[in-house]
Amino acid sequence: MNRFVFIFVLLAGLFGNYAACAQEPIVIKFSHVVTSDAPKGKAAEYFKRLAEKSTQGKVRVEIYPNSVLYKDREELEALQLGAVQMLAPTMAKFGPLGIKDFEVFDLPYLFPNKEALRRVKHGPVGKMLLKKLQAKGLTGLAYWDNGFKVMSANRPLKMPEDFKGLRMRIQDSRVLDAQMRALGAIPEAMVFSDVYSALQKGVIDGTENPPSNLYTQRMHEVQKHVTVSNHGYLGYAVIVNTKFWNGLPAEIRDKLEEAMWETTLYADRIAEEENARALDAVKRSGKTQVHTLTPAEAAAWRARLLPVHAELETRIGKDTVNAVKREIRRLQ
């Protein structure tokens, strides 16, 4: 084979391969623990559509919902190892990673309303908190909303005394542990995907979550009573593997950041609707009695739970707690 033909074949092979490689989409594996029709599930699907459209297929987002790929604790390790590229855990799940500041979001009765919550999340304090993830090889992109939590059990929960001795499932957060102890309950940290069967088998007596999670996980089918307490908030931090993110072509990263912000607005927009719809569906199911706290009952819960702030501020970090409270007060 003469030299020119050889060089031509070689180059064709190289360009052929490069073209083939160049055309392969960049894959973002996005793992999460809720169903596709829960607020976070819908936001993930929305992001997928926007990201694939705005990058004209140069990026493919593969979503793995409902813990099919990784359960709660595993998913953070998988992200650090690069086995997946994107997650959106709740702020309650960063403690085991050694970042306790995010547990500030678990403090009972911290946010007087969603405006204050959004100011904290999308403002300088929220950005400051996301920066703390860098030390763990993670990059925080955004905060997605879910909502304020209800409590559930197989007996009515109207006054703090009603929690006495109940085994209540919590996310792996020290603040939530202290919250349940303050109510006289026994906190049981457990991964989300195990909660339904643990309730069904009576391993635990009750739990807390926004109505959208309670309903999409069918927990209301194994809980006779739900109390609309809005005693605490549950939301998400969207995070990526830093090495992966910094390794992206700049124009792709820009497009993904735009898609992420648009999705954040979408997530904040649907969260309240989804929770209202879920609570309504729980009521209509006839399987669960729904009780909304009276002002007197709510006052008793507040009196019992607000001391958790002072108890946990050292663990969370006084600077973080003060920064969040200053931001909440700023426009009140």
Chain residues binding ligand LMR by CB under 6 A are: 33-34, 40, 90, 146, 171, 192, 209, 213
Residue placing its CB nearer to ligand LMR in the complex, 147 or 297 = 147
CB of 38 to ligand LMR, least distance (A): 7
Residue placing its CB nearer to ligand LMR in the complex, 233 or 323 = 233
Residue placing its CB nearer to ligand LMR in the complex, 160 or 235 = 235
CB of 42 to ligand LMR, least distance (A): 12
Which conformational region is residue 159 in: left (phi greater than 0), alpha (psi within -120 to 50 degrees), or beta? beta
Nearest to 60 by CA among 5, 110, 23: 23
Nearest to 78 by CA among 131, 38, 24, 30: 30
Residue placing its CB nearer to ligand LMR in the complex, 161 or 273 = 273
Please name the residues in contact with 304: beta carbons below 8 A apart, sequence gap of 6 or more: 160, 182, 183
CB of 190 to ligand LMR, least distance (A): 8
Task: Determine the residue with CB nearest ligand LMR.
Answer: 192
CB of 195 to ligand LMR, least distance (A): 7
Please name the residues in contact with 168: beta carbons below 8 A apart, sequence gap of 6 or more: 151, 153, 180, 183, 185, 186, 187, 188, 204, 205, 206, 207, 208
Residue placing its CB nearer to ligand LMR in the complex, 31 or 55 = 31
CB of 246 to ligand LMR, least distance (A): 26
Nearest to 238 by CA among 269, 260, 216: 260
